[in-house]
A and B are shown apart, each in its own frame.
Chain A
Amino acid sequence: MERRNFIKGAIMVVAGAAVPMAALEILDPKDVLAANPDLKWAFLVDTTKCVGCGMCVKACKTENDIPWTANVSRTWVERYVVTKEGKVWADCPKQARDGYTSPLLDENAAGKISVDPNDIAKGFFVPKLCNQCDNPPCAQVCPVGATYKTPDGPILVDRTWCIGCGYCIQSCPYGARFFHPVLHVADKCTWCYHRLHHGMKTACVGACPFGARQIGNLRDPNDPVTLAVLDDRIGILKPEYGTNPQAFYIGLSKEVD
Chain B
Amino acid sequence: MSYVWRPLWVVIILVAGVLTFRHFYVPKDFGIQEQGYMYGFHRLGNEKDWINFPISYKFSKDDSYCQQCHPGHVKSLLASPHAIIPCEDCHGPALNHPDNPPKLQIDKRRALCLRCHANLPYPGAGRNVVPGIDPVTHNPGQECVECHNPHNVMEGLQ
Q: Is A233 at the interface (CB under 8 A from chain B)? A: no
Per the bound structure, the CA–CA distance linking A130 and B56 in Å amounts to 21
Contact of B85 among A49, A136, A209 (CB under 8 A): A209
- 6 pairs, CB–CB < 8 Å, chain A vs chain B: A52-B127, A140-B38, A145-B30, A148-B33, A193-B50, A207-B89
Q: Is B46 at the interface (CB under 8 A from chain A)? A: yes
Task: Known contacts A149-B40, A150-B47, A210-B84; decide if A120 and B93 are in contact (CB<8 Å).
Answer: no
Cβ < 8 Å to B, chain A residues 59-116: 59, 62-64, 81, 98-103
Task: Known contacts A161-B43, A194-B53; decide if A102 and B126 are in contact (CB<8 Å).
Answer: no
Contact with A along B45-84 (1 / 0, CB 8 A): 0110111111111010000000000000000000000001
Q: Is A197 at the interface (CB under 8 A from chain B)? A: yes
Cross-chain contact A146 with B114 (CB below 8 angstroms) = no
Cross-chain contact A63 with B56 (CB below 8 angstroms) = yes
Question: What chain B residues lie within 8 Å of A63 (beta carbons)?
Answer: 55-57, 93
Query: Which of A's residues lie within 8 Å of B, judged by CB?
Result: 48-55, 58-59, 62-64, 81, 98-103, 117, 120-125, 135-136, 139-140, 142, 145-151, 156, 158-161, 190, 193-195, 197-198, 200-201, 203, 206-207, 209-212
Question: What chain A residues lie within 8 Å of B52 (beta carbons)?
Answer: 194
Nearest chain A residue, comparing its CB with the CB of B82 = A209
Q: Is B111 at the interface (CB under 8 A from chain A)? A: yes
Cβ < 8 Å to A, chain B residues 99-158: 111, 114-116, 118, 120-127, 129-130, 135
Contact of A195 among B35, B55, B122 (CB under 8 A): B55
Cross-chain contact B89 with A55 (CB below 8 angstroms) = yes
Task: Known contacts A63-B57, A210-B84; decide if A122 and B115 are in contact (CB<8 Å).
Answer: no
B30, B56, B111 pick with most chain A CB within 10 angstroms: B56
Task: Output the least CB separation between B121 and chain A (Å).
Answer: 4
Per the bound structure, the CA–CA distance linking A52 and B127 in Å amounts to 7
Task: Output the least CB separation between B152 and chain A (Å).
Answer: 16
Cross-chain contact A193 with B57 (CB below 8 angstroms) = no
Cross-chain contact A156 with B126 (CB below 8 angstroms) = no
Contact residue range for chain B? Answer: 35 or more
Cross-chain contact A99 with B114 (CB below 8 angstroms) = yes
Query: Which of B's residues lie within 8 Å of A, judged by CB?
Result: 30, 33-35, 38-43, 46-47, 49-57, 59, 84-86, 88-89, 92-93, 111, 114-116, 118, 120-127, 129-130, 135
Nearest chain B residue, comparing its CB with the CB of A152 = B47
Contact of A136 among B34, B39, B51 (CB under 8 A): B39
Per the bound structure, the CA–CA distance linking A102 and B134 in Å amounts to 9
Task: Output the least CB separation between B106 and chain A (Å).
Answer: 14
Task: Known contacts A148-B42, A149-B35; decide if A52 and B120 are in contact (CB<8 Å).
Answer: yes
Nearest chain A residue, comparing its CB with the CB of B129 = A51
Cross-chain contact B126 with A210 (CB below 8 angstroms) = yes
Cross-chain contact B89 with A209 (CB below 8 angstroms) = yes
Task: Known contacts A53-B116, A59-B89, A197-B51; decide if A206 and B57 are in contact (CB<8 Å).
Answer: yes
Cross-chain contact A140 with B56 (CB below 8 angstroms) = no
Task: Output the least CB separation between A191 and chain B (Å).
Answer: 10
Task: Known contacts A123-B125, A207-B57, A212-B126; decide if A55 and B115 are in contact (CB<8 Å).
Answer: yes
Nearest chain B residue, comparing its CB with the CB of A197 = B51
Nearest chain B residue, comparing its CB with the CB of A125 = B125
Question: What chain B residues lie within 8 Å of A122 (beta carbons)?
Answer: 122-125
Task: Output the least CB separation between A150 and chain B (Å).
Answer: 6
Task: Known contacts A50-B126, A117-B121; decide if A207 and B116 are in contact (CB<8 Å).
Answer: no
Cross-chain contact B88 with A207 (CB below 8 angstroms) = yes
Per the bound structure, the CA–CA distance linking A247 and B36 in Å amounts to 22
Task: Known contacts A81-B122, A124-B124, A125-B125; decide if A59 and B57 are in contact (CB<8 Å).
Answer: yes
